Structure 1
Amino acid sequence: MTNDSVERFQQITARLAQYPLQLMTEKEIAISYRENGVKSTTTIVFLHGIGSGSASWLQQLESKFGGCRLIAWDAPGYGDSSLMADSPSESQAYAERLLLFITHLQLDKIHLVGHSLGAIVAAAFAKSWPDKIQSLTLVNPALGYGKSSKKIRDELLNARIADIEKTGVEGMANISPLRLLSANAQQTAFDIVQFNTRRLRHYGYSQAASLLVSSDLIADIENYTKPVLVLYGAEDIVVPEENALLVAKVCQSSIFQKIPDAGHAAYIEQANVFERLLLSFIGNKIKQ
């Protein structure tokens, strides 16, 4: 890292200090998370993608966001969250961990937002516990490869694990902005993406990769009847637009909206547009 990079990352660390990592522990399971400290009956829970973490929602935590309480978790094996002990490849196991999390925090009727792999977890949660969700937003959703052959699933999983084993998190951090952001992304977006990638944990990432290749988001979401917002960064090179459109099509009550000038990590690259669309969707009337 250059001196300039170190300074920029120190600035992100200073910003994150306003939203320190907290730890929930129950049944010998730890889940780390960040929140904005706002007391409100409207709670939005954010689920990050496979190469990220709770700190990726920094801009959302910093925003007034209509006066909502904002909570960003670290998925199993990310941040200080415990790894999955059993069935690491099953979306249901991750959904059960999310249930433990929101139950411990005594959250009721949450607005759930999942990005990429986080969308897979959100969809699995919505399938089993729809009564706990007031609205569901899926951002550049990964569909999973559960319908693919075992040969293809094994190849995809091995490739993911090879990435982190061969290049390490530093090597992945150098590449990740090129995959997750558009060509015109601002430096702040680059920094947030790299900051989170550098904090990946090998086994957490590997388990999440196993989740990705085994899951089928469409199967989980197709019978969900509550409102769903599908947001899609128009410059995404990770998730094809037709995949995101398919998610919107199979949902019984959905809205599909593109976010221009944004890649896969649309909520990072176009935070203001993301906030406006999400608040409009959930119908939040809390004054800033």
Structure 2
Amino acid sequence: MSHATAPNAHAVLPLETRLARFPAQQVAVAQQHVVSYREAGDARGVALPLVLLHGIGSGAASWVQQFEALGTTRRVLAWDAPGYGESTPVAAGSPFASDYANVLKAWLDALGIARCVLVGHSLGAIVAGAFAAANPARVAGLLLVSPAGGYGTAAPEVRASKRDARLAMLADLGPAGLAETRSANMLSPHADETARDWVRWNMSRIVPHGYAQATHLLANADLAADLAAFTGRVAVVAGAQDSITLPTACARLARIARAPFQTVPRAGHAGYIEAPAAYNTILDTFCRASDASAGNRSF
């Protein structure tokens, strides 16, 4: 049995206590621009690094259960996207995926990561797809978890409506209010209270300006176009009870990417939080296959 499928010895500890093992760090990626991130594992290992990109209502801290399970066999890193945590926002008021992908490239350069396995959840899948399409040699495997496709090809009035409704909700509720009213939508009815508390904790810490920019990104993005352009290894996974990025929509993106698609039973949109054992096994299996295809045969 791989470590990713073993019982979690830390599960009895509060998630914030467990997160303290992976403290936030900052690295300069340009003059007066930083990216904050968390990491686990040993940078000297031969396995490919695993890079995790969170969704619009989350942050690097949401991946703590993946740090614990997967950091024993490889370097695992999760960023706070531009405008989240201590990461400097992108310059554009209404950014595109390429704006975030350029920061991702600069961050990986700063950390000396030439090639990785890249995982994007929800909005993070949009950034991951844009980066992979622009830098295919740097992505040994692209795994999309409940990917958001973006509204870039929708009619202008649809794009504006989707964008403005989310911005109005942010203005009315603020981060704490969003966390109270929206966090339950991220999970299936089977999620336990620990998972619900963790989603709420992460969502309550969003930075309004960064969230607003990410809302524009969602309106502007077209993940399908980037997936059609990328010819490397891709896989797509979704929670069977995801009510935000429906499994049917995720399956469509998988077909465009010519990629395998699977659903995880009893899991919602933030499945990696509520069903960590299942998702850690998927991530571990995908990483090991990517290692093998990249020539790291010892893993």
- The two structures share one fold, judged by TM-score above 0.5: yes
Listed as ranges, the matches of 1:126-165 within 5 Å are: 126-165=132-171
Segment of structure 1 superposing worse, 94-103 or 170-179: 170-179
How many residues get paired? Answer: 277
Distance, in Å, in 2 between the alignment partners of 1:89 and 1:26 is 18
Is the Cα–Cα contact under 8 Å of residues 66 and 279 in structure 1 kept in the other structure? no
Match of 1:167 among 153, 156, 173: 173
The CA RMSD measured in Å over matched residues stands at: 1.6
The equivalent residue for 2:253 is 247
Taking structure 1 as the reference length, the TM-score comes to 0.92
Is the Cα–Cα contact under 8 Å of residues 228 and 257 in structure 2 kept in the other structure? yes
The equivalent residue for 2:193 is 187
Deviations 1:51-107 (A, max 9, x none): 000000011112245511100000010000001113642111110010001011000
Listed as ranges, the matches of 1:1-288 within 5 Å are: 11-27=14-30, 28-39=32-43, 40-41=45-46, 42-65=48-71, 67-86=73-92, 88-252=94-258, 254-282=259-287, 283=289
Shift of 1:26: 2.7
Deviations 1:217-242 (A, max 9, x none): 00111121111110110000001222
Shift of 1:176: 2.8
Distance, in Å, in 2 between the alignment partners of 1:101 and 1:183 is 37
Is the Cα–Cα contact under 8 Å of residues 41 and 72 in structure 2 kept in the other structure? no
Change (3 A) 1:286 1:257: farther
Shift of 1:255: 1.4
Paired AA for residue 210 in structure 1: H
Is the Cα–Cα contact under 8 Å of residues 182 and 261 in structure 1 kept in the other structure? yes
Is the Cα–Cα contact under 8 Å of residues 87 and 93 in structure 1 kept in the other structure? no
Deviations 1:194-246 (A, max 9, x none): 11111111100000000001100001111211111101100000012221111
Mind listing any 5+ residue stretches in structure 2 that lack a counterpart? 1-12, 292-296
- Return structure 1 stretches of 4+ with deviation > 3 angstroms: 284-287
Mind listing any 5+ residue stretches in structure 1 that lack a counterpart? 1-9
Paired AA for residue 95 in structure 1: A
Distance, in Å, in 2 between the alignment partners of 1:279 and 1:15 is 20
Change (3 A) 1:286 1:164: farther
The equivalent residue for 1:5 is none
Distance, in Å, in 2 between the alignment partners of 1:224 and 1:84 is 24
